[in-house]
């Protein structure tokens, strides 16, 4: 994101302050997040990197309203996620968040078009399923069931499903984790393009450091803390990446 | 020995799936408990019956006469196949029992001179035998004493054969002839009004003027002897003495009722358990199939490690066997309890000295084997699938389940059906066998509910038609001997009587071709209003000329239609024979009756204008005075009250039918619940990930619950018409299975009963649905992001 763009969006979309998360396990309490501070701008693309158990997925879950923090604050515009009721969080996910999962999570009994329609039916200002699928290059596969699509195609349907509601926030959890390199690039390409089209803030969690090249900022995690935030001066398009 | 890892896996699988396992085991337990209860009760009744009959030397053939000289007993004993003869005197009359509003029907029977050579001997329960030298002491039936609150030492008076006699009750006894004592006009028990007394022979002789004579005889036969041929000889020998038709033990009222009860028990044991086991096997099939699908990777892993196909698949067989065994064990325990409860109930009706609860180990063992076999059979298809899995295929994750557009898409094309609803329909279309099994299971539970509700409706109809439309009298009296029609006017002058109509009843044998039936011909005046035969549409069937109006059941047995002739041999009086036309058919529900114009019947009998009884309307507030009046009328030997009869029907309905219906309700509810719960659980297992994904994507819990429960709701609703039709069929089947000579239950189901049945069914299904759907509230939304299908 350029300085000019940053100036156009003076208010950050997300403000995270002192966020902690502790899980109680049989072996005792596990601190997954130990005081995370972060501001995320509208339209920005963030890539969260770190080893397993470093806290990146926990942060993603809290940002997505799937999990609640033990302490601290996570504010999306005026909406404080921490302490919100389950019903409010459901509303938040429905209105503002698009999710992309590692294992696609498509409904096998619905066609590509119907999987997208599943979301457009409950969204406030969605694009049509056809439009969303066209954006990910699947106009010719709209009436296929998931079992009739390749892994990359299934994930692109999932991308279309995520952006069809024009979300402000697009959360991607290991979106290429189940795909080969070529399909992975295609999916990232789709994510980058459609996120730009709907001006979505994109947060991508990955083990794959190669993905960092497409980010505005790269945030590294270790032991529940942010260890490093790097601004990427020369972000590149996914089609130029390989791993 | 330490359990193997596979044993531990089995134990943990069972624990993890405990609610599904229990829901199926519950169905098996229902089936097993019915079998164990029925066989245990049958065993208890049969053993008590056999022991009692053996100890008291219950006779094989019975006959009555008006007055036969005691010397004929020798001739009866000479009949081929007869091993013992016991001739007694049985006198009937009305007895005033303090505390009872209506007189009891008294039967006074002579005690044998030689107690060691008696047939149908009595068994003393309390007190002592009468002093042989005294004519005012008697032993009474224990059930009567208890029901009428008569104590030993009380003195009771009866009017017998026109004379007033009194007895001091010195003992209480049981008798194989009176194990069950039905009231004369119904088959319901009425112990308080059935006073059976045994007194020394001289006392009974004196009361009935029967010195040197007998009027009732019982015969014991040698093993293998022909009862039919003996009965023919008995009829021949007793005919000159007013002999009535001899009858075999199977037609003895008490024995016949007991036999009918045993038949009902064996019918229950034959009909119900298979329904439960079939539904349970279907559920085992669904559950184990789903489990094998979910564990294909584990199965492949075991095979990759070197486990043989048999070993890798055996866990699923053992799981099914465990479900069967758990159900059988639970069913055995419940069945033992139910068996004890039903035997307790039987003690109220069947008076055996020694009716003990007998747990039928044979039934339990048999039911256990069948239950385990049913569960194993249910699992076979899934186990075969596990055996067929190759290690390589099993190690690969399954692709998303393949769905296709089907006929539902054609139906839904162009309609604005939302995607959630589309998911429901596609799933139904994708798994038609599962939907069918679930639907059939649900329909069978509803069928059981609807089909058993008819018991109450049917009895209501029988009571309404029998006691308020066909017979409209409030009281009836019968005379010792046919009397001139003026006697009816005499009874009509008793206090409280405002209508009295004559009735003439004779026993007759009706023959049509090779078929014959023994029945009563009821002679009524054509203008009679208190008693008239009605057809199936409640229209009176006119009595025309010499014509007979037959009950539909009797006509069916004889294969007769209106317009045809029937050979009629009257057994009473001078025993005339005639070919009479059948002029109409009447619908009734108990016994086999034929109706005729009373004057024509009297003409056939060659008698004047006589009656054998009167049917009356008595003002309710003057009944006590009325009964006092008829007690003092020597010629009256029987009195029935509609209100008492209907009350005893209602009481039996309240006690025994309510228990039966509660069981059926519970059983059917268990089926509906078990099927719905398992179907919904399997759906949740299969679609849990989809639903959790939808939750992540912003769907509310209610929207997810709709998708999960929608399939069940559609199947449950679709099953309603099938279940209602099935219930209607089941009611007819049960009517056929339970029908007996003495009672024919019509298969009627009132709209309200459909409502009750469907309501109970929907509650059971909804409960199962709610129990599963509430799990949506506990979804781990984070886990779903990381879960591969």
Largest CA distance in chain A: 52
Interface test with A, best of B413, B698, B706, B789 (most A CBs within 10 A): B698
User: With 90 as the cut, is the pLDDT of residue B656 above it?
Assistant: no
Searching chain A, which residue's CA lies closest to the CA of residue B400? A147
Task: Report the pLDDT value the prediction gives residue A219, as an integer from 0 to 100.
Answer: 95
Does residue A199 come out as left (phi exceeding 0), alpha (psi in the -120 to 50 range) or beta?
Answer: left
The reply to whether residue A66 touches residue B786, judged by beta carbons under 8 angstroms, is no
A30 touching B, CB under 8 A? Answer: no
Closest CA of chain B from A3, distance in Å: 33
Query: What is the C-alpha separation between B67 and B240, in angstroms, rounded?
Result: 9
Task: Please check whether residue B94 is in contact with residue B636, taking contact to mean a CB–CB distance below 8 angstroms.
Answer: yes
Report CB contact under 8 Å: A110, B786: no
| Residues on chain A touching B787 (C-beta within 8 angstroms) | 103
Q: What is the pLDDT of residue B452?
A: 80
Taking an 8 Å cut-off on Cβ atoms, the answer to whether A67 and B787 are in contact is no
- Which residues from chain A sit within 8 angstroms of residue B408, using beta carbons? none
- For chain B, percent of residues with pLDDT exceeding 90: 42
Per-residue pLDDT reduced to its tens digit, B287-304: 999 888 888 878 887 777
Helix (H, G, I), strand (E, B) or coil at B497: strand
Question: Binning pLDDT at 50, 70 and 90, where does residue B1 land?
Answer: low
Over range B513-521, report the average pLDDT: 87
Whether the per-residue pLDDT at B741 is higher than 80: the answer is no
Which among A67, A99, A109 has CB closest to B697? A99
Strands B137-141 and A169-173 come out as unpaired
pLDDT at A10 over 70: no
Q: Could you tell me which residue, B184 or B766, shows the higher pLDDT?
A: B766
**B774 vs chain A: nearest CA distance in angstroms?**
15
Closest residue in A to B403 (Cα) is A109
Q: What are phi and psi of B727, to 5 degrees?
A: -65, -40
Q: Are B221 and B82 in contact (CB under 8 A)?
A: yes
Closest-CA residue to B69 (of B211, B246, B204): B211
pLDDT of residue B638: 77
Per residue in B181-211, pLDDT (tens digit) is 877 666 677 888 899 999 999 888 887 778 8
- Contact at CB, B419 and A87, closer than 8 angstroms: no
Contact residues on chain A for B422, CB-CB shorter than 8 A = 109-110, 114
- Chain B residues close to A53, C-beta within 8 Å: none
Chain A residues lying within 8 Å of B786, measured CB to CB: 57, 102, 173
User: Which residues of chain B approach chain A closer than 8 Å at the C-beta?
Assistant: 399-405, 418-420, 422-423, 426-427, 430, 689-690, 693-700, 703, 781-782, 784-789
First CA to last CA distance, chain B: 37
CB B700 to CB A147 under 8 A? no
Instruction: State whether B698 and A93 contact (CB < 8 Å).
Output: yes
Angle formed by the axes of helices B432-464 and B253-294, nearest 10°: 160
What's the pLDDT score for residue A218? 94
Cα B735 to Cα B731: distance, rounded to the nearest angstrom: 6
Average pLDDT over residues B154-180: 90
pLDDT at B789 over 80: no
Read off φ and ψ for residue B174, nearest 5 degrees: -115, 155
CA closest to A90 among chain B residues = B698
CA distances from B298 to B31, B186, B295, B556 (A): 34, 67, 5, 65
Banded pLDDT at A17 (limits 50, 70, 90): very high
Q: A94 CB near a chain B CB, below 8 Å? A: yes
Most confident of B155-169, B408-422, B659-673, B699-713: B699-713
Q: Is residue A9's pLDDT more than 60?
A: no
**Interchain proximity B401–A66, CB inside 8 Å:** no
How many angstroms separate the CA atoms of B681 and B294, rounded?
Answer: 13
Distance (Å) from the alpha carbon of A233 to chain B's nearest alpha carbon: 31
- Could you say which of A66, A109, A117 has the minimum Cβ distance to residue B403? A109
Mutate which: B421, B425, B434, B697, vs A, most A CBs within 10 A: B697
Residue of chain B nearest A150, judged by CA positions:
B399
Comparing CB atoms, the residue among A61, A90, A114 nearest residue B422 is A114
Three-state SS annotation for A176-223: CCCCCHHHHHHHHHHHHHHHHHCCCEEEEEECCHHHHHHCCEEEEEEC
Spatial CA neighbour of B504 closest among B464, B531, B474: B531
Distance of alpha carbon B613 from its chain centroid, rounded? 32
CB atoms within 10 A of CB A64: 24
Pairs of residues, one from chain A and one from chain B, whose beta carbons lie less than 8 Å apart: 99
pLDDT at residue number B376 = 95
Using DSSP, state whether B725 is helix, strand or coil: helix
Minimal C-alpha gap between B401 and chain A (Å)? 6
Residue-level pLDDT at B309: 83
pLDDT over 70 (residue B715) = yes
Residues of B in contact with A95 (CB under 8 A): 698
Place of tokens 């920005």: A44
Span A41-97, pLDDT tens digits: 989 999 999 988 899 989 998 999 888 899 999 999 999 999 998 889 888 988 899
Give chain B's mean pLDDT.
Answer: 87
Q: Closest partner residue to A66 among B403, B426, B781, by Cβ?
A: B781
B423: closest CA of chain A, how far (Å): 6
Residue A241 has pLDDT above 70, yes or no: yes
Sign of CA dihedral A93, A99, A104, A107: positive
Residue B788 pLDDT class (50, 70, 90 cuts):
low
pLDDT for residue B187 = 67
Q: How large is the average pLDDT for residues B600-610?
A: 91
In degrees to the nearest 10, what's the CA dihedral of B468, B470, B473, B478?
A: -140
Asked whether B482 and B607 are in contact (CB, 8 A), the reply is: yes
Give the nearest partner residue to B402 out of A57, A147, A178, using CB atoms.
Answer: A147
| pLDDT value, residue B388 | 85
The more confident residue out of B194 and B417 is B194
Residue A242 has pLDDT above 80, yes or no: no
With contacts defined as CB-CB under 8 Å, which chain B residues touch A94?
A: 697-699
A119–B430: do the CB atoms touch at under 8 Å? no
- Bridge partner list, B615: B476, B501
User: What is residue B781's predicted lDDT score, i.e. its pLDDT?
Assistant: 77
Mean pLDDT of A201-223: 91
pLDDT band per the 50, 70, 90 thresholds, residue A237: confident
Which pLDDT score, from 0 to 100, does residue B615 have? 94
Q: What is the percent of chain A with per-residue pLDDT over 70, rounded to a whole number?
A: 95
Distance CA B627, CA B546 (A): 36
Question: Shortest Cα distance from B424 to chain A (angstroms)?
Answer: 9
Per-residue tokens: B160: 């017998």
CB contact under 8 A, B426 and A109: yes
| Predicted confidence (pLDDT) at residue B101 exceeds the cutoff of 90 | no
Output the pLDDT for position B186: 66
Of B400, B699, B703, the CB nearest to A108: B400
Mean pLDDT in residue range B340-346:
88
- Average pLDDT for residues B620-626, to the nearest whole number? 89
Q: Which residues pair with B551 in a beta bridge?
A: B586
CA distance, residue A9 to nearest chain B CA (Å) = 26
- Which tens digit of pLDDT belongs to each residue from B250-309? 989 899 888 888 888 888 788 888 988 998 999 999 899 988 888 887 888 777 777 788
Question: What is residue B740's predicted lDDT score, i.e. its pLDDT?
Answer: 64
State percent of chain B over pLDDT 70: 96
> How far, in whole angstroms, is CA B631 from its chain's centroid?
36
Nearest to A99 among B403, B696, B700 (CB): B696
pLDDT one-digit tens code per residue, B556-594: 889 999 999 999 988 777 778 999 999 999 998 877 889
| pLDDT classification of B229: cutoffs 50, 70, 90 | very high
- Model ipTM value: 0.81
Instruction: State the average pLDDT over residues B451-466.
Output: 82
For residues A144-161, give the mean pLDDT. 91
Asked if A103's CB is within 8 angstroms of B402's CB, the reply is no
Residue A18 has what pLDDT? 95
Mean pLDDT of B488-515: 91
Identify any residues that bridge with B579 across adjacent strands, giving them in sequence order. B567
Mean pLDDT of chain A: 88
Residues of chain B found within 8 Å of residue A145, distances taken between Cβ atoms: 400, 402-404
State the average pLDDT over residues B339-352.
Answer: 88
**B703 contacts A94? CB cut-off 8 A:** no
Q: Do A93 and B426 make contact, defined as CB atoms within 8 angstroms?
A: no
Q: Is A154 on the interface with B (CB under 8 A)?
A: yes
pLDDT of residue B393: 61
Q: Which residue of B has its CA nearest to A146?
A: B400
Q: Does A95 touch chain B (CB under 8 A)?
A: yes
Helix (H) or strand (E) run with residue A17 in it: strand A14-25
Chain A contact set for B783 (CB, 8 A): none
Q: A124 — contact with chain B (CB < 8 Å)?
A: no
Q: Is residue A84 within 8 angstroms of chain B, CB to CB?
A: no
CB contact under 8 A, B785 and A106: no
Q: How close, in Å, is residue B771 to chain A by CA atoms?
A: 21
């Amino acid at each position: 994101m350029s300085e000019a763009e940053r100036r156009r969006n003076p208010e950050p979309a997300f403000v995270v302050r002192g966020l902690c998360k502790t899980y109680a396990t049989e072996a005792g309490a596990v601190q997954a997040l130990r005081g995370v501070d972060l501001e995320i701008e509208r339209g920005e693309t963030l890539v969260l990197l770190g080893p397993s158990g470093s806290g990146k997925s926990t942060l993603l879950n809290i940002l997505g309203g799937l999990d609640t923090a033990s302490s601290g604050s996570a504010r999306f515009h005026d909406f404080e996620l921490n302490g919100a009721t389950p019903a409010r969080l459901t509303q938040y996910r429905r209105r503002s968040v698009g999710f992309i999962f590692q294992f696609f999570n498509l409904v096998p009994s619905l066609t590509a078009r119907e999987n997208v329609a599943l979301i457009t039916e409950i969204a406030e200002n969605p694009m049509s399923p056809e439009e969303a699928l066209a954006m990910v290059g699947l106009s010719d596969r709209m009436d296929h069931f998931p079992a009739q699509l390749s892994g990359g195609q299934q994930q692109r349907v999932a991308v279309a499903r995520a952006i069809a509601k024009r979300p402000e926030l697009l959360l991607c959890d290991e979106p290429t984790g189940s795909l080969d390199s070529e399909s992975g690039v295609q999916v990232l390409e789709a994510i980058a393009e459609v996120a730009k089209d709907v001006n979505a803030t994109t947060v991508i969690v990955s083990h794959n450091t190669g993905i960092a090249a497409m980010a505005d900022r790269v945030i590294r995690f270790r032991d529940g803390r942010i260890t490093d935030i790097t601004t990427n001066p020369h972000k590149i398009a996914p089609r130029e990446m390989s791993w | 020995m330490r359990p193997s890892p596979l044993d531990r896996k089995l134990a943990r699988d069972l624990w993890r799936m405990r609610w599904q396992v229990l829901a199926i085991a519950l169905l098996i337990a229902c089936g097993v408990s019915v079998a164990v209860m029925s066989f245990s009760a049958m065993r208890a009744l049969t053993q008590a019956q056999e022991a009692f009959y053996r100890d008291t030397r219950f006779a094989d053939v019975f006959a009555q006469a008006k007055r036969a000289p005691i010397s004929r007993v020798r001739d009866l004993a000479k009949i081929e196949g007869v091993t013992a003869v016991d001739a007694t005197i049985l006198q009937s009359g009305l007895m005033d029992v303090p505390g009872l509003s209506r007189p009891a029907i008294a039967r006074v029977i002579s005690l044998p001179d030689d107690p060691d050579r008696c047939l149908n001997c009595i068994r003393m329960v309390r007190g002592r035998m009468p002093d042989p030298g005294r004519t005012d002491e008697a032993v009474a039936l224990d059930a009567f004493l208890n029901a009428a609150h008569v104590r030993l030492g009380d003195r009771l008076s009866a009017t017998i054969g026109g004379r007033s006699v009194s007895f001091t009750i010195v003992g209480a006894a049981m008798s194989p002839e009176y194990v069950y004592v039905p009231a004369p006009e119904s088959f319901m028990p009425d112990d308080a009004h059935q006073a059976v007394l045994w007194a020394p022979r001289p006392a009974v002789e004196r009361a009935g003027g029967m010195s040197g004579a007998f009027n009732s005889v019982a015969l014991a036969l040698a093993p293998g002897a022909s009862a039919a041929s003996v009965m023919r000889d008995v009829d021949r020998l007793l005919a000159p003495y007013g002999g009535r038709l001899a009858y075999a033990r199977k037609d003895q009222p008490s024995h016949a009722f007991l036999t009918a009860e045993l038949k009902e028990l064996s019918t229950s044991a034959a009909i119900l358990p298979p329904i439960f086991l079939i539904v349970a096997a279907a559920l085992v099939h669904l559950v184990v199939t789903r489990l094998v699908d979910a564990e294909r990777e584990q199965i492949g892993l075991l095979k990759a490690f070197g486990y043989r196909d048999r070993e890798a698949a055996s866990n699923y067989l053992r799981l099914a066997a465990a479900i069967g065994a758990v159900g059988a064990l639970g069913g055995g325990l419940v069945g033992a309890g139910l068996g004890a409860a039903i035997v307790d109930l039987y003690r109220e009706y069947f008076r055996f000295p020694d009716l003990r609860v007998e747990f039928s180990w044979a039934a339990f063992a048999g039911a256990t084997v069948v239950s385990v076999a049913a569960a194993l059979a249910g699992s076979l298809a899934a186990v075969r699938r596990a055996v067929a899995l190759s290690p390589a295929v099993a190690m690969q994750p399954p692709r998303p389940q393949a769905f296709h557009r089907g006929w539902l898409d054609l139906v839904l094309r162009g309609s604005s059906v939302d995607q959630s609803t589309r998911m429901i329909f596609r799933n139904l279309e994708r798994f038609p066998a599962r939907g069918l099994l679930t639907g059939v299971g649900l329909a069978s539970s509803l069928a059981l509910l609807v089909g058993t509700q008819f018991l109450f409706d049917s009895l209501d109809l029988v009571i309404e038609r029998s006691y308020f439309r066909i017979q409209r009298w409030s009281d009836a009296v019968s005379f010792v001997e046919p009397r001139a029609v003026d006697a009816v006017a005499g009874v009509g002058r008793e206090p409280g009587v405002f209508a009295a109509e004559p009735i003439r009843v004779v026993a007759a044998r009706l023959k049509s071709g090779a078929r014959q039936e023994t029945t009563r011909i009821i002679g009524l005046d054509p203008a009679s209003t208190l008693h008239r035969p009605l057809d199936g549409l409640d229209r009176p069937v006119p009595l025309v000329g010499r014509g007979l109006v037959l009950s539909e059941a009797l006509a069916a047995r004889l294969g007769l239609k209106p317009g045809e002739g029937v050979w009629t041999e009257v057994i009473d009086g001078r025993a005339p024979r005639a070919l009479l036309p059948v002029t109409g058919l009447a619908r009734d529900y108990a016994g086999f009756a034929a109706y005729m114009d009373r004057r024509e019947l009297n003409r056939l009998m060659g008698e004047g204008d006589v009656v054998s009884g009167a049917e009356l309307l008595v003002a309710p507030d003057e009944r006590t005075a009325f009964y006092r009046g008829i007690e003092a009328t020597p010629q009256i030997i029987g009195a029935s009250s509609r209100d008492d009869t209907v009350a005893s029907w209602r009481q039996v309905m309240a006690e025994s039918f309510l228990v039966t219906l509660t069981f059926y309700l519970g059983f059917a509810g268990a089926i509906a619940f078990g099927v719905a719960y398992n179907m919904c659980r399997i759906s949740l297992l299969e679609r849990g990930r989809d639903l959790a994904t939808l939750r992540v994507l912003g769907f509310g819990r209610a929207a997810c619950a709709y998708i999960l429960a929608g399939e069940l709701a559609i199947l449950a609703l679709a099953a309603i018409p099938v279940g209602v039709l099935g219930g209607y069929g089941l009611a007819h089947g049960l009517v056929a299975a339970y029908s007996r000579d003495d009672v024919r239950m019509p298969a009627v189901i009132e709209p309200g009963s459909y409502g009750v049945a469907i309501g109970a069914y929907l509650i059971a299904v909804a409960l199962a649905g709610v129990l599963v759907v509430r799990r949506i509230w506990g979804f781990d939304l984070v886990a779903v992001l990381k879960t591969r299908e």
